[in-house]
């Protein structure tokens, strides 16, 4: 397995990947176990779009994550699990054990009627069984749709419904810091409006009381016991290269989340390649990605990437501040973590807690640090570099998206010269383009534009589940012949890329992508609210905070109660990650004559930039702006 070792090698490999992408990716794909090699490396057009990699190839990704490693590293730890409670023992699951566990649970799924192509929803806490369930789906060719355990019943039921899942895998509850999250009862509520689901398999984790619906619900351990000794063998289903591997929902500008579809072979080749090269992974190293498996980062760099590369991957059930704000650092020392990959928002919040939480720990096992999910500010970058990396660890600021499947712009650890705040250079196979507002590609350096890609890579989104038109319209129609990311970006005098943030109606709150329309839909569930508008505002820790303007259908004098009710409503329907930080009650919203809310104006108000609201003359009723300005929350 070769890897890039110097900047010259990167340049050479990059050039090769652009001049001859098919030969380049075929070379990367050679090392895997294929049931049948591909006939054609790539077929594509960005107009429909129609993107197919390794056409005609047949394989199963779990053979590549598990079976392929058994001979060489069967006894090596595959998953190193650290529980929420530091007094509970950690679990080490070897490649051999993981293989057995995955086969057993795959047989459980089959016994519950699962077949190739079925959609299975996984709504679980961060325990090894979550990774086992994901891999068990892939083993039998069922399409997994993992929903983050922090989402509430409405978000869950929308996602189950959109993918017409027939099975849900969940747990009685999950531990997060001092809290127990009642996952099963959220599932029960979601299933009241999800008739497609026939079976629910429930892991026992918190011993929370749950109601089990007879005929529908079964305990994970009972189902395993039913297999007797016979469950250990489960031949991997043979999949076509372009068979869907998973659906993962991501927020968009409309209220309905998009089910991003990734397929088998291209995703596999891409996450393996990027994992090994970006982090410069060496055999035997311990890799820790702190993301939840409910997000793409957890899919690609907690489960699939590390397992494909035969790494030891750390999975952490808890939160960075429990039992105190030194938890990350204590886990790094405890498990001698070599590569640590987290979000800027976590770094900023731990920085704010002070160095006393860092000082007790040696952190001398660390070799590489990474960040993902949002731009990292220079101050947080320096803090991370000095206090966690002890100025010895390169930082990889990795830019990518749910839709890109894996990292697309990033330094290679220790190889690419870094610049705080810059994701630096495109990985081999990635051809960025910056576009101006008129749709012209900006050539040369020192330019600001909208970030697109002009050639496919194996990990790129294939479709949005059940609605190909939406995929085309969102990503491929805006700039003809290009994939559009939705991000603003600068290319500086050195050709380095710096992501400047979203240019559409989604906001990054603590690294989570949230659609403003989805939050508005949740707020509007409150019986007194007739209309709402959500925008982001810069927030020191979270990156962006949520500012909401709401219109009530009658005057509520008890505004504090009303605000609390709104927050509870959002938590109930969508989840605590979408809780508004600021709520302003208004009489009207700035609308154009055609009834469209002018968010540009609301954003300025939320950012407290009241003097530069721009042209308001096209508004239906410009006087509402004055009223909103007076009540603006600082
Ligand atoms: C959006 C995608 C990438 C996996 C986790 C998030 C922002 C991501 C960076 C970075 C600046 C970043 C972009 C992107 N983003 N990484 N290193 N620097 N911005 O996946 O939830 O699909 O979010 O996250 O705005 O479009 P996601």
Task: Please report the domains of the chain, with CATH numbers, ordered by start residue.
Answer: 7-488 (3.40.50.12780), 510-631 (3.30.300.30)
By alpha-carbon position, which residue is closest to atom 1 of ligand 1? 401
Which of 401, 496, 509, 514 is the pocket-test mutation for ligand 1 (most atoms within 8 Å of CB)? 401
Q: Residue 409 CA: which ligand 1 atom is closest?
A: 17
pLDDT of residue 275: 98
By alpha-carbon position, which residue is closest to atom 17 of ligand 1? 399
Ligand 1 midpoint to CA 452 (Å): 14
Beta bridge partners of 217: 200
* Per-residue pLDDT tens over the stretch 348-379: 999 999 999 999 999 999 999 999 999 999 99
Is residue 339 over pLDDT 60? Answer: yes
Sign for the pseudo-dihedral over CA of 126, 385, 405, 465: positive
By alpha-carbon position, which residue is closest to atom 14 of ligand 1? 401
Ligand 1 midpoint to CA 402 (Å): 8
Ligand 1 midpoint to CA 506 (Å): 11
By alpha-carbon position, which residue is closest to atom 24 of ligand 1? 373
Q: How confident is the model at residue 229 (pLDDT cuts 50, 70, 90)?
A: confident
Ligand 1 midpoint to CA 460 (Å): 14
Is residue 255 over pLDDT 90? Answer: no
**Category of 627 on φ-ψ map: left (φ > 0), alpha (ψ -120 to 50) or beta:** alpha
Ligand 1 midpoint to CA 501 (Å): 9
| Token digits of residue 27 | 């070379």
Measured CA to CA in angstroms, residue 435 lies from 101, 127, 449, 452 at distances of 48, 43, 5, 7
**Cis peptide preceding 323, ω within 30 of 0:** yes
**Cis peptide preceding 49, ω within 30 of 0:** yes
pLDDT of residue 622: 87
Ligand 1 midpoint to CA 513 (Å): 8
| Token digits of residue 242 | 């372009």
Is residue 537 over pLDDT 60? Answer: yes
Measured CA to CA in angstroms, residue 283 lies from 30, 279, 287 at distances of 19, 12, 11
**Mean pLDDT within 33-46:** 98
3-state secondary structure 475-491: HHCCCCCCEEEEEEEEE
Measured CA to CA in angstroms, residue 195 lies from 198, 210, 267, 310 at distances of 8, 20, 31, 40
Ligand 1 midpoint to CA 403 (Å): 10
Which of 252, 292, 497, 499 is the pocket-test mutation for ligand 1 (most atoms within 8 Å of CB)? 499
Ligand 1 midpoint to CA 251 (Å): 12
Ligand 1 midpoint to CA 407 (Å): 10
Ligand 1 midpoint to CA 511 (Å): 7
Q: Residue 403 CA: which ligand 1 atom is closest?
A: 22
Which of 422, 506, 508, 543 is the pocket-test mutation for ligand 1 (most atoms within 8 Å of CB)? 508
In whole angstroms, give the CA distance from residue 260 to residue 310: 26
Q: Say if residues 231 and 107 touch (Cβ distance below 8 Å).
A: yes
> In this predicted structure, which of 210-214, 249-253, 489-493 has the lowest mean pLDDT?
249-253
Q: Residue 502 CA: which ligand 1 atom is closest?
A: 25
**Residue of 571, 526, 437, 57 lying closest to 267 (CA atoms):** 57
**Mean pLDDT within 550-578:** 95
pLDDT of residue 2: 80
DSSP 355: G
Is residue 233 over pLDDT 80? Answer: yes
Is residue 106 over pLDDT 70? Answer: yes
Ligand 1 midpoint to CA 271 (Å): 16
Task: Please tell me whether residue 373 adopts helix, strand or coil conformation.
Answer: coil
Ligand 1 midpoint to CA 551 (Å): 32
Q: Residue 512 CA: which ligand 1 atom is closest?
A: 21
Q: What are phi and psi of 472, to 5 degrees?
A: -60, -50
Ligand 1 midpoint to CA 374 (Å): 5
By alpha-carbon position, which residue is closest to atom 5 of ligand 1? 373
Alpha helices in 478-558, H assignment, sequence order: 516-523
Q: Residue 398 CA: which ligand 1 atom is closest?
A: 17
Measured CA to CA in angstroms, residue 93 lies from 72, 99, 204, 336, 501 at distances of 16, 10, 18, 16, 39
Q: Which residues line ligand 1 (CB under 6 A)?
A: 250, 295-297, 372-375, 397-402, 423, 485-487, 499, 502, 508, 513
* Per-residue pLDDT tens over the stretch 573-600: 999 999 999 999 999 999 988 888 999 9
Task: Describe the strand order of the beta sheet including 497-502 as a list of residue ranges.
Answer: 441-442, 432-435, 447-453, 483-491, 497-502
The separation between CA 203 and the C-alpha centre of its own chain, rounded to angstroms, equals 23
Q: How confident is the model at residue 616 (pLDDT cuts 50, 70, 90)?
A: confident
Q: How confident is the model at residue 256 (pLDDT cuts 50, 70, 90)?
A: confident
Q: Residue 376 CA: which ligand 1 atom is closest?
A: 18
**Mean pLDDT within 161-167:** 98
**Mean pLDDT within 534-558:** 95
In whole angstroms, give the CA distance from residue 331 to residue 318: 11
- Give Rg (Cα) of the chain: 24
3-state secondary structure 114-164: CCCCCEEEEECCCCHHHHHHHHHHHHHCCEEEECCCCCCHHHHHHHHHHCC
Ligand 1 midpoint to CA 521 (Å): 24
Q: Residue 513 CA: which ligand 1 atom is closest?
A: 21
**Category of 522 on φ-ψ map: left (φ > 0), alpha (ψ -120 to 50) or beta:** alpha
Q: Say if residues 13 and 427 touch (Cβ distance below 8 Å).
A: no
Is residue 1 over pLDDT 70? Answer: no
Q: Please state the pTM of the whole predicted model.
A: 0.95
Ligand 1 midpoint to CA 248 (Å): 15
By alpha-carbon position, which residue is closest to atom 6 of ligand 1? 373
Q: How confident is the model at residue 13 (pLDDT cuts 50, 70, 90)?
A: very high
Ligand 1 midpoint to CA 221 (Å): 37
Q: How confident is the model at residue 59 (pLDDT cuts 50, 70, 90)?
A: very high
By alpha-carbon position, which residue is closest to atom 18 of ligand 1? 375
For 476-485, b/e burial (b = at least 16 CB within 10 A) is: bebbeebbbb
By alpha-carbon position, which residue is closest to atom 27 of ligand 1? 401
By alpha-carbon position, which residue is closest to atom 23 of ligand 1? 401
By alpha-carbon position, which residue is closest to atom 20 of ligand 1? 401
């Amino acid at each position: 397995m070769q890897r890039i070792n110097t900047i010259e090698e990167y340049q050479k490999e990059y050039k090769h990947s652009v001049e001859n992408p098919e030969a380049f990716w075929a070379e990367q794909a050679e090392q895997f176990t294929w049931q049948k090699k591909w006939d054609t490396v790539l077929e594509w057009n960005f107009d429909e779009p129609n993107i197919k990699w390794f056409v005609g190839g047949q394989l199963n990704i779990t053979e590549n994550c598990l079976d392929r490693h058994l001979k060489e590293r069967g006894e090596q730890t595959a998953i190193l699990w650290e529980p929420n409670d530091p007094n509970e023992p950690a679990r080490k699951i070897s490649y051999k054990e993981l293989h057995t566990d995955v086969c057993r649970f795959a047989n459980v799924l089959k016994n519950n009627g699962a077949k190739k192509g079925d959609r299975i929803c996984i709504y679980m806490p961060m325990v090894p069984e979550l990774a086992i369930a994901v891999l068990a789906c892939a083993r039998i060719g069922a399409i997994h749709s993992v929903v983050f355990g922090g989402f509430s019943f409405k978000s869950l039921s929308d996602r189950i419904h959109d993918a017409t899942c027939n099975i849900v895998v969940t747990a009685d509850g999950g531990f997060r810091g001092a809290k127990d999250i009642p996952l099963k009862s959220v599932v029960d509520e979601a299933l009241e409006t999800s008739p497609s689901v026939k079976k629910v398999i429930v892991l026992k984790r918190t011993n929370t009381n749950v109601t089990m619906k007879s005929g529908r619900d079964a305990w994970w351990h009972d189902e395993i016991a039913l297999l007797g000794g016979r469950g250990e063998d489960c031949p991997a289903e043979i999949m076509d290269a372009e068979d869907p591997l998973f659906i993962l929902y991501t927020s968009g500008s409309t209220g309905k989340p998009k089910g991003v579809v990734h397929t088998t072979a291209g995703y596999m080749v891409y996450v393996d390649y990027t994992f090994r090269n970006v982090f410069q992974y060496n055999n035997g190293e311990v890799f820790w990605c702190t993301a939840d498996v409910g997000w793409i980062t957890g899919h690609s760099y907690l489960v699939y990437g590390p397992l494909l590369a035969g790494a030891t991957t750390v999975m952490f059930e808890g939160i960075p501040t429990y039992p105190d704000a030194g938890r990350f650092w204590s886990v790094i020392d405890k498990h001698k973590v070599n590569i640590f990959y987290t979000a800027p928002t976590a770094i900023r919040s731990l920085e704010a807690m002070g160095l006393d939480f860092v000082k007790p720990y040696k952190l001398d096992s660390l070799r590489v640090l990474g960040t993902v999910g949002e731009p990292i500010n220079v101050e947080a970058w320096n803090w991370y570099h000095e206090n966690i990396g002890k100025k010895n660890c390169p930082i990889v600021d990795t830019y990518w998206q749910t839709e890109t499947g894996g990292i697309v712009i990033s330094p290679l650890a220790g190889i690419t010269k870094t610049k705080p705040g810059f994701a630096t250079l495109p990985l081999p196979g990635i051809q960025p383009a910056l576009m101006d507002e008129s749709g012209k590609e900006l050539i040369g350096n020192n330019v600001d534009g909208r970030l697109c890609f002009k050639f496919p890579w194996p990990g790129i989104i294939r479709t949005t589940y059940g609605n190909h038109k939406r995929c085309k319209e969102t990503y491929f129609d805006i700039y003809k012949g290009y994939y559009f990311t939705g991000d603003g970006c600068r290319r500086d005098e050195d050709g380095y890329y710096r992501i400047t943030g979203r240019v559409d109606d989604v906001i990054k709150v603590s690294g989570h992508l949230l659609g403003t329309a989805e939050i508005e839909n949740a707020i509007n569930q409150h019986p007194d609210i007739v209309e709402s508008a959500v925008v982001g505002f810069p927030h020191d820790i979270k990156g962006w905070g949520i500012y909401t303007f709401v219109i009530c259908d009658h005057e509520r004098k008890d505004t504090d109660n009303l605000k609390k009710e709104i927050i509870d409503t959002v938590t109930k329907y969508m989840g605590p990650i979408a809780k508004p930080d600021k709520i302003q009650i208004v009489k009207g919203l700035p609308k154009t004559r055609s009834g469209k809310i002018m968010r540009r104006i609301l954003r300025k108000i939320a950012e407290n930039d009241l003097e530069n609201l721009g042209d308001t003359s096209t508004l239906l009723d410009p006087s509402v702006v004055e009223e909103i300005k007076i009540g603006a929350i600082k």
